[in-house]
């Protein structure tokens, strides 16, 4: 059974830093692209970042570019999100998601497994 378990959330002051982790099990972690998605309580899902299977390429939403860093340790089956210069608007539940793909006029990615998320609260 595929399992994704996030940890590392908590209360942090504006300008502070936090590192989230996502422990994966039940599948060959090193074969999949992984993503972070966040949800402000009461609002919708927002894509944050992605990393390819070997960690060599990354992409970020404009709202976090330059402040957040996605990484992975395939030996530990773990995905990370380093969040720096945190702002109040970064307050959200952060979830990791596994991406599967198929080739249909180019690779098409979708999220076939998700974690339940970890809450990050940025407040003084």
Partner 1 sequence: QSVLTQPPSVSGAPGQRVTISCTGSNSNIGAGYDVHWYQHLPGTAPQLLIYGNINRPSGVPDRFSGSKSGTSASLAITGLQAEDEADYYCQSYDSKLSWMFGGGTKVTVL
DSSP E strand boundaries for the chain: 3-7, 10-12, 18-25, 33-39, 45-51, 58-60, 68-73, 78-83, 92-103, 107-114, 118-122
Does 89 interact with partner 1 (rule: CB under 8 A)?
Answer: no
Of 14-53, binders to partner 1 (CB under 8 A) are 35, 37, 44-47, 50
**111 touches partner 1 by CB under 8 A:** yes
d(CA 83, CA 80): 10
User: Of 42 and 124, which has the nearer Cβ to partner 1?
Assistant: 42
Residues that bind partner 1 (CB under 8 A): 4, 35, 37, 44-47, 50, 59, 61-62, 95, 97, 100, 102, 104-106, 108-117
């Amino acid at each position: 059974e595929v399992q994704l378990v996030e940890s590392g959330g908590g209360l942090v002051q504006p300008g502070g830093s936090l590192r989230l982790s996502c422990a994966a099990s039940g599948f060959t972690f090193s074969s999949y692209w992984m993503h972070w998605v966040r949800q402000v309580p009461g609002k919708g899902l927002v894509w944050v970042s992605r990393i390819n299977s070997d960690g060599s390429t990354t992409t970020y939403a404009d709202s976090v570019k330059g402040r957040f860093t996605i990484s992975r340790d395939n030996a530990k089956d773990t995905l990370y999100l380093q969040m720096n210069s945190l702002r109040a608007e970064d307050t959200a539940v952060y979830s990791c998601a596994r991406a599967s793909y198929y080739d249909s006029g180019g690779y098409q990615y979708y999220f076939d497994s998700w974690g339940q998320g970890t809450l990050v609260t940025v407040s003084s």
